Amino acid sequence: MSLRKLIILGGGFGGLDVARSIGKSGAARGYWDTRLIDKENFFQFNPLLPAVAVGAVETRHIVYPLRTMAAHRRIRFLKNKAMQIDLERRLVTLHNGLVESYDTLVVAVGSVTNYYGVPGAAEHTLCFKTIVDAMKLRARVVELFEMAEQAESEEQRRRLLSFAIVGGGVTGVEVAAELTEMARETLLPRYPGIRRSDLTVTIIESGGRLVGAARPAHSAYVLRFLERRGVRVRLGSQVTRVEPRRLFVGDEPVEAFTILWTAGVCPPALVRELPLSHAADGRVIVDDRLRALDPKGAALEDVYVIGDCAASRRADGRYQPALSQTAIAMGHYVGGRLVRRARGLDTGPFTFHEVGYIISLGKHSSVLDLFGIPLSGRLAWLAWAAAYLIKMVGFRKQIEVGLDHLTHLVFEHDTAQILARKNVLTDDELNLTLADPAGGGDGARGGAGGGGESAMTGGTRMSCLHFAPDSARVAGKSRGARAW
């Protein structure tokens, strides 16, 4: 009997679990000719991206090579990107014109940043979805501290070190907490020309509280924790447009040299454009066995959609949230269903109940709700570290991340900036003139803890920074600089 061809698009939480389930079963390996296709050749553990962004966890420690897994499971891995899916002809068109046919298809390509149609958001903000995004953010923060240390005026330093995070969900909160911890404990002591009041971190959230999916008491705890550390939080604030180094809440401008967008995700165009039933956010509506539904509501027997791409209804009528734990549960279900199908068996409907949530606030604190048990503080952080160690893919990665956590408890963040400046700064930012426009330098400069305001919530008054074109720079100085 010839093997039936199974195509798994995406090597994230959901797709990886499907592939591992197939690979562990001798019956499934003898029934399915499996192809795992992903644009990257590694799986990345997204929950630890904020820790990577500040150097608390090493970059390579949260990635797992997909080809290694595929070789162990007798699965063929293709590093490529799906460009189009032809459901009628059962074909997947890949980059470079390659085409793969399938008998059964699992769509698990994850999600992309959702800008909600806000003008300028895609062009003028940084997204935070991949390990490269985390590396660039960390490099940019260190680079801006280096520039601020040399700036001759207080207004310039404050402008350089102004950060805005759009979205007060788990990711936005964790990035803000990690960033302020890195600044307070490592960066500020090493840059004597920068005061704590020179740094501003602002979270802009359209909802009425941070992490709206968490318990109200935990949302309040997170708000108090961040505000005590100088983070400015603006609730009920809808971003209407974004310009270079400036965003607008309604008609009110908010200046920020670095704007990070963590407001939400949606399926990629590959999924949104499929001729299937879709939810309002673009996810494909699936039945209780995670099969895609066509526009008439009929299930496609050999097309499964899981993870952030799937809109699966819960018992209360709402859709399952786009979370890693949801993707893992869906991948485990579809993998098990395909294994049982190889054995001539059927499975019941997909059921899933959220385990809870974990929100890291740096190495000092966390909040969590696991199996209905709420916890906060240092004990919650230990539970957070242990939970993610268990979830890490591969014993080696568990050891590496565990050692990273122990090292971070004792030692400071690493402030070495190894990326090329042109990869983390725009051309205008590279040509920034740090000389005081008024001349004479800044006679009021003090140490990291001296003078000025006591928290990282310095005033909003900013002076113009100046950018000089390359042709005007002579012997390390600039002339004819244009105001920004």
Partners of residue 284 on adjacent β-strands: 278, 310
The predicted-structure confidence for 62-114, as pLDDT tens digits, reads as follows 999 999 989 888 899 999 999 999 999 999 999 989 999 999 999 999 999 99
Q: For residue 447, what are the CA distances in angstroms to 123, 149, 190, 194? A: 36, 11, 10, 6
The predicted-structure confidence for 312-327, as pLDDT tens digits, reads as follows 999 888 999 888 999 9
Q: Which of 230-239, 303-312, 423-432 has the lowest mean pLDDT?
A: 423-432
Domain 4-39+80-111+267-342 has CATH 3.40.50.460: no
Neighbouring C-beta atoms of residue 351, cutoff 10 Å: 10
> DSSP alpha helices (H): ranges in 60-130?
66-73, 121-124
The whole-number average pLDDT for the span 468-478 is 38
Q: How confident is the model at residue 457 (pLDDT cuts 50, 70, 90)?
A: very low
Residue 454 reports pLDDT greater than 50: no
pLDDT of residue 353: 83
Q: What DSSP assignment string belongs to 161-210?
A: TEEEEE--SHHHHHHHHHHHHHIIIIIHHH-TT--GGG-EEEEE-SSSSS
Residue type, 123: E
The whole-number average pLDDT for the span 240-253 is 96
Residue 196 reports pLDDT greater than 50: yes
The predicted-structure confidence for 10-61, as pLDDT tens digits, reads as follows 999 999 999 999 999 999 999 999 999 999 999 999 988 998 888 888 888 9
The residue ranges of every structural domain in the chain are 4-39+80-111+267-342, 121-263+359-373+404-474
Q: Which residue has the higher pLDDT, 414 or 90?
A: 90
Q: Which residues of 260-288 are buried (b: 16+ CB within 10 A; e: fewer)?
A: bbbbbbbbbebbbebebbbeebbbbbbbe
Residue type, 376: S
Angle, in degrees to the nearest 10, between helices 131-150 and 170-182: 40
Residue 95 DSSP SS3: helix
The predicted-structure confidence for 166-182, as pLDDT tens digits, reads as follows 999 999 999 999 999 99
CATH no. for 121-263+359-373+404-474: 3.50.50.60
pLDDT of residue 439: 63
4-39+80-111+267-342 against 121-263+359-373+404-474: fold identical: yes
* Torsion of Cα atoms, 58 then 62 then 63 then 64, to 10°: 120
Dihedral of CA 20/22/23/27: which sign?
Answer: positive
Partners of residue 263 on adjacent β-strands: none
Residue 116 reports pLDDT greater than 70: yes
Please tell me the distance from the alpha carbon of residue 69 to that of residue 38, in angstroms, as a whole number: 13
% of the chain beyond a pLDDT of 90: 64
pLDDT of residue 224: 95
Please tell me the distance from the alpha carbon of residue 360 to that of residue 483, in angstroms, as a whole number: 40
Residue 484 DSSP SS3: coil
* Closest residue by Cα to residue 151 from 191, 124, 179: 191
Q: What DSSP assignment string belongs to 328-376?
A: HHHHHHHHHHHHHHHTT-----------EEEEE-STT-EEEEETTEEEE
% of the chain beyond a pLDDT of 70: 90
Q: How confident is the model at residue 440 (pLDDT cuts 50, 70, 90)?
A: low
- Residue-level length of the chain: 484
Q: Is the separation of the CB atoms in 309 and 107 below 8 Å?
A: yes
pTM score of the predicted model: 0.86
Q: Which of 115-119, 375-379, 381-385, 467-471 has the lowest mean pLDDT?
A: 467-471
The whole-number average pLDDT for the span 414-438 is 82
pLDDT of residue 417: 79
pLDDT of residue 350: 95
Mean pLDDT score of the chain: 87
Residue 408 reports pLDDT greater than 90: no
Residue 448 reports pLDDT greater than 70: no
Residue type, 406: L
